Structure 1
Amino acid sequence: MTASTTPGTSSSPSLLVPFYEHPADRPEEWAAVVAAAPALYGVVLNPASGAGPAPDPAFAEVAARLRDAGVRVLGYADTDYGRRPHPDVVADLVRHRDWYGADGAFLDQVPTEPSALPHYRRLTVAARAAGARTLVLNHGAHPAFGYEALADLLVTFEGPWDAYRGLELPVADHYCHLVYAAPADARPVTPVGCAVPGTGAHPWGTLPHTLEPAR
């Protein structure tokens, strides 16, 4: 069952945190993420727009801390709206599993059109076979019927707060909204989501206001 809801400033939902910063450069922020474990749905691990060419000890260490705290670790893989070859995406997911102990997958740049469903069905099977107990598809907009059967969570909005706050969007337990350029009291309306203050080309280098460490 879905309902249309207008975004507002309600109580904080369970957080899906895509924090794309190196642990060696932002140790206090990563410590704050780990400390927030009870409030987290999961954390997207993205060492190098994917798993990278070789294991990164700093990311391996922070991934172990997240797992020890009971947090889902979701390995990031770009699918380039279906254009990235299937073996390359799967190789990213296997590296995330082997190098960082990822127990989930976050597939980025997923199209909304039904014509891509066969490709993503294959990716879903491969991701589960690679150990992804939790699978998130980031469409950034509401997708066609059929994708809901593939994943545990669908990102049905990604964009700035100014665009988000006036929308009436379908809401369901398996939908997630990722909002950036957001004020301190902004909250997504979905049970799982994230709102950060970051802007520009790299908004996911910032944390939600509630997780920012004290200075």
Structure 2
Amino acid sequence: MTMLIPLYVHPLVDPDAWRAVAAAGPFVTAIVNVHNGPGGDLDASYVEATELLRAARVPMLGYVDLSYQRRSEDEVERDLVAWHRYPVEGIFFDQVPTDPAALLTVARLTRRTGGMVVLNPGTRPHPAYAPLADLICTFEGSWAAYRHLPDEPDWPNAAHLIYGVDSWDLPEAHARMTRLAGGGLVTDLDMPLPYCGVPSWLRATAAVQR
């Protein structure tokens, strides 16, 4: 089970969120997003924050937006190169297309990552996408929607991103995700910014460890 933690908050805005992820160590995999990707310039705050996570042995993935193939391959490749400035161990591709026509493009990009690959189409793509990644996020949505999905296992490398979970439903949501997928996220943060911070359960765990 790979627990993905999208960490889309600046280290200076919410340093406690970064410390909570560091406290979790290799139990979680952080998705780092400087500015809708690696950003244009090296950010010293992110250098320091990612070094904190590396010292805690937290695996990190760099965020890259495919924008459902609206971005050119050259733009995406520049992001892949720019992530070499930070100690990430793979790439989280967001807004991944789902149709066979984009398959070869996505395959070329995943081969250039040199590490762990997570694809996030947010829904189940064409089955030919399955071999391209370590994990594929075949569900991204609210707990209200997730709890009404059929209680059947997804693809072996499927991940589910579930937000808006009431605090009293967190154990049920974790158990359901564990039955249905090979990884993902359960968070009580909700729209419009469900990834701007970390789940309350992670903060609570870090507080107990201090």
- TM-score class, shorter: 0.7 to 0.9
TM-score (normalizing by structure 1):
0.86
Aligned to 1:72: 59
Q: Deviations 1:103-150 (Å, cap 9, x if unpaired)?
A: 20000000111111011111112223xxxx101100100111111111
3-state secondary structure, aligned to 2:106: helix
Letter of the aligned partner of 1:157 in structure 2? F
Q: Distance in 2 between matches of 1:46 and 1:138?
A: 14
Q: Deviations 1:56-99 (Å, cap 9, x if unpaired)?
A: 111111111222222221010100111210011111111111x2
TM-score (normalizing by structure 2):
0.88
Residue 26 of structure 2 contacts residue 59 of structure 2 at CA under 8 Å; is this kept in 1? Answer: no
Q: Distance in 2 between matches of 1:56 and 1:46?
A: 11
State the number of aligned residues: 197
Q: Distance in 2 between matches of 1:75 and 1:68?
A: 17
- State the 1:151 CA deviation: 0.9
Aligned to 1:15: 3
Residue 62 of structure 2 contacts residue 83 of structure 2 at CA under 8 Å; is this kept in 1? Answer: yes
Q: Gaps spanning 5+ residues in structure 2: where?
A: none
- The higher relative CO (CA closer than 8 Å, separation ≥ 6) is in 1
Aligned to 1:49: 36
Describe how 1:131-150 pairs up with structure 2 within 5 A: 133-150=115-132
Residue 118 of structure 2 contacts residue 134 of structure 2 at CA under 8 Å; is this kept in 1? Answer: yes
Q: Percent identity?
A: 38
Q: Are 1:200 and 2:197 an aligned pair?
A: no
Aligned to 1:4: none
Aligned to 1:117: 103
Q: Gaps spanning 5+ residues in structure 1: where?
A: 1-12
Q: CA RMSD in A?
A: 1.7
- State the 1:170 CA deviation: 4.0
3-state secondary structure, aligned to 2:113: helix
Q: Distance in 2 between matches of 1:170 and 1:116?
A: 26
Letter of the aligned partner of 2:189 in structure 1? G
Describe how 1:22-33 pairs up with structure 2 within 5 A: 22-33=10-21
User: Equivalent of 1:209, from 186, 200, 205?
Assistant: 200
3-state secondary structure, aligned to 1:171: coil
